[in-house]
Chain A
Amino acid sequence: MFDIRSPWAKSSLSLLAVGIAVVVLLPIAWIGALSLKTGREVYKQSFLPDQWTPGNYVEAWREFGLGGYFVNSVFVTALSVALTVLVGLLAAHAFTWLKFPGSEWVFTALLLGIMIPPAALVLPLLIEARQLGLYDELYGLSLVYVAFGLPISILVFRGFFQGLPGDLVESARLDGAREWKILWRVVVPMARPAIVTVTILLMLANWNDFILALVLLRDSDTYTLPVGISQFIGQYRTPHELIAAASLIGSVPVFLLYLILERRFQQGVAQGALKG
């Protein structure tokens, strides 16, 4: 966008860019190195381990029962994202193509949900979850994620639908197609970019959530990764190299997805944030 010509300016900007990247990455790299050290080496000054111990990851996985937390996190994230996208698509379809008296009001009311920080509602949610039998249940937590994910999803979906050619929906209707078929066969295939954006946003939010899971789950059998791993920090005897390994294990899924979908991730996050 800016045409930098002078070679001196070019190389100093490159240097600056690489320098910043290194500084940002160093703490993670240090944790990565720590996670590969033996227990005795942890307090030594050296950056890299003398004795590389990848077995720490296996030990952390077994010692802390990360497998169970991992499965819980995957389950909650998958269920909540799938439900939110499905329910959000239905609503956005109606808000765009099947307006009813008062639908704009309902739409505005739903959008108010974007303003409410989940952290502020943990107490009443806990009270309600106990009453409804959703407390300490993974599907209950998923349902709460659905509630907080819906407003932004509906906003993004409707914004996208409004840019689609309405004739296609109209002509499908004249052909006698049922509404859900129109949504599924006509609208959804065109809306794929919006669905990807929403899926990325929701996956990040729900996989990373801490406070809702902390409050709404009680039993260690139901803990998600962030809650499960955070439980070890209070125990000062927990070996540092294992905490480091566990933290990195919890970050890996996001990191892998990011590697595969880097630009889409960035676009998705930007679109979701700027439009929401």
Chain B
Amino acid sequence: MRADTSLTAVAPAASDRKPRRRDLLRAERRRGGNFASGLGVAMVFPSLAVFLGLIAVPVVVVALVSLSEWAGFELGDLSWIGLENYRSLVDDGVFWGALVNTLLFTGLTTLFLNILGFGFALLISTRVRGTGLLRAVVFLPALLPPVLVGLMWRRVLDGFGFVNQILQNLGITDEPIFFLGERGYVLWLIIGVTIWQFAGFDMILYYAGLQSIDRSMLEAAALDGARTFRTITRVVIPSLYHIVGVVALLNIIGGLKIFDVVFVMTRGGPNRSSEVLATYMLEKGFRHSIMGQASAIAVVIVVLAVVFSLIRLRISRRLV
């Protein structure tokens, strides 16, 4: 790698010969030379080292381990088995269930977060009384640790929780419903909690987008006598197309790595009805020490994330 070699060539000079350093630097600069660029390499080096060591190398390692059979302890016990782990994932019903749940979670949270986020952003941009409160309150959950949000909602949803209290007071049920023990409910509840937590996040992004709309277009629409609804559909939404793309992809990428809330609310249960890729990966890796299969699941997560990130990059390039 070019960056590394030029660094070793230049860095010692920069530190060893202090007295002459400045003169050298000036001389080099006058010639437009590369002493300064050696300094540039040195300034980038810490970032590059951390990135290579703790992101790039792990990506390579996870890809390699996914081609092996390994319990994760002694490197000597590792044996190469090619694509066998991926083949067994294809035959693994639990993996498909986790994949479907992850995609369902991702799709539905993205859809509702965008609808609500956009709606709330429109509402706060009217600046009528009460919208300041809305803005502050709705954004708050987005800042909280998802683990603690999951913990709180676990309580709110349990047999003696707030939701059951409301249902019983309204006379809808007599017996408490143990929501998190019901196969048919759990995934939807996790989706609901995530929407509750992050609607304000999308709201802020859309609000930032709304601020960037050309005022004169809105004024022109108003002068033409367009009603608010028409202004929204004809002027506001078309000028936000790119923002919609960026926000939706952010939600998708965030959704694919869903873990914290599931882990504390259901651990993927009951009976795997809320299993997602990340929880299944950890189960394979830590509970069963099947590192190869766990790594294959990790590779699936990485590939999905990278694909959507690349799409996002294309859109935001056009945005900026």
Contact = CB atoms under 8 A, between A and B. Distances in A.
Given A16-B123, A274-B205, A27 B145 contact: no
Contact of A91 (B46, B165, B213): B46
B313 to A, nearest CB: 8
B241 interface: no
Interface of B: 2-3, 6, 22, 26, 29, 34, 36-41, 43-44, 46-48, 50-51, 53-55, 57-59, 61-62, 65, 72, 120, 122-131, 133-148, 151-156, 160, 162, 165, 168-169, 196, 199-201, 204-205, 207-211, 213, 218, 222, 228, 231, 243, 246-247, 250, 253, 256-257, 259-260, 263-264, 278, 281-282, 285-286, 291, 294-295, 298-299, 301-302, 305-306, 309-310, 316, 319-320
A258 B250 contact: no
A273 B136 CA distance: 18
A255 interface: yes
Contacts of A125: 54, 58
Contacts of B146: 208, 210
B contacts with A: majority SS: helix
A128 interface: yes
Given A1-B126, A90-B44, A207-B145, A269 B201 contact: yes
Contact of B205 (A91, A147, A208, A270): A270
A30 interface: yes
Nearest to A250: B148
A110 B39 CA distance: 18
A21 B51 contact: no
Contacts of A90: 43-44, 46-47
A28 interface: yes
Given A91-B43, A100-B40, A2 B126 contact: yes
Nearest to A148: B55
B39 A179 contact: yes
Interface string A196-208: 0000000010011
A137 B156 CA distance: 35
